[in-house]
Amino acid sequence: MVKHFIIDTDTAGDDAISILLALKWPDVKVDAITIVCGNVDFDQQVENALYTVEQFASYHVPVYPGARRPLLMRNWKYADYVHGKDGMGENYFPRAKQRPEEKHAVKALIELVNSAPGEYTIVAQGPLTNIATAILADREFAKNVGQLYVMGGYADGFGNVTPAAEYNFWVDPDAAKVVLHSGIKPVLVGWDIAVKYSVVEEELHREIATWGTKEAEFFVKVNRKVVEYEKKVTGLPGSTHPDTITMAIAIDRSVAKRLEWRYVDVENASELTRGMSVVDHLGVLGKEPNALVCYEADKEKFRSMLFKVLKGR
Ligand SMILES: [Ca+2]
């Protein structure tokens, strides 16, 4: 059975690889890509999504521009220091022929989800501004979402943009709060999962470069800057793939080896810990769980899915 996906994304680097995985996966159909503020310049993110679709989709995938700023217009910074100025490893790919849709991403999200209650899987791989706005704008939306997978926060680890916060939750903590308290009960895949289970080592990039497919070439090019960044700043031995491992889990739940129901909230009042995801591991608050938290993933399974696509099989 074909699964219908909507990908909400701040398209840069790993976002594009995640889109590639979904576009190439046989029983997945990407019905829309919605763009949200985050990693790099908004219009560049739109172009990055359009380019990825043009290169790898075998069917038409509309790209809808959404929120250009977080809900409360908080200040944030781009992650171009991770992904390069264009968000795509500074390859400055040519402009795609396909142009973005006129319709706003939030409108597209509401229309699609409400047109097929329970059918859509949304993979949210950027700040949650679009998803939160859809929840606030339409009272049926939250009820009608089939599955929501969120790359954001962390369960067991630490932040990556501040000591306390993972980037997506930090950019728009208010949106993350809306989503967590919406009743949707998302699957949360945190930065800790990316660090532990998604790293593709530098030597492997050199090997992938020899595979000779368009997909492999794209992977290596797009991740060029990330490999440099991780080596210099985080000390990780290769590129990290938070969005792609979230996508792999959305495609095949068994990529998540351990998922636990937890009550999760996000800090949005403090400057020091803005965007920090607070997971009630012990249930000390006695609150009903609102998220299915990923604690462990299957590194080998993730790799085999990604590499299958990169080998063009
Ligand atoms: Ca992202």
Q: Using alpha carbons, list the distances in angstroms from residue 117 to 32, 69, 145, 187.
A: 16, 28, 7, 18
Question: Which residues does the chain have with pLDDT short of 50?
Answer: none
Sequence-distant (6+) residues with CB within 8 A of 6 are: 30, 31, 32, 33, 34, 109, 112, 113, 120, 121, 122, 123
Calpha distance 176→61 (Å, rounded): 26
Ligand 1 centroid–CA 153 distance in Å is 12
CA–centroid distance, 286 to ligand 1, in Å, is 32
Distance 284 CA to ligand 1 centre (A): 31
Decide: helix, strand or coil at residue 9. strand
Ligand 1 centre to CA of 115 (Å) is 26
CA 242 to chain centre: 7
What confidence score (pLDDT) does residue 273 get? 97
Q: Which is it for the CA torsion 130, 136, 137, 143, positive or negative? A: positive
Residue 38, Ramachandran bin (φ over 0: left; ψ between -120 and 50: alpha; else beta): left
Report the pLDDT value the prediction gives residue 33, as an integer from 0 to 100: 98
pLDDT of 291:
98
Specify the pLDDT at position 82. Answer: 86
Say how many Å lie between the CA of residue 136 and the centre of ligand 1.
22
Residue 14 C-alpha to ligand 1 middle, in angstroms? 7
User: Which pLDDT score is estimated for 96?
Assistant: 97
Ligand 1 geometric centre to CA of 8 (Å): 9
Q: By the 8 A CB rule, do 153 and 266 touch? A: yes
**CA 251 to centroid of ligand 1, rounded, Å:** 17
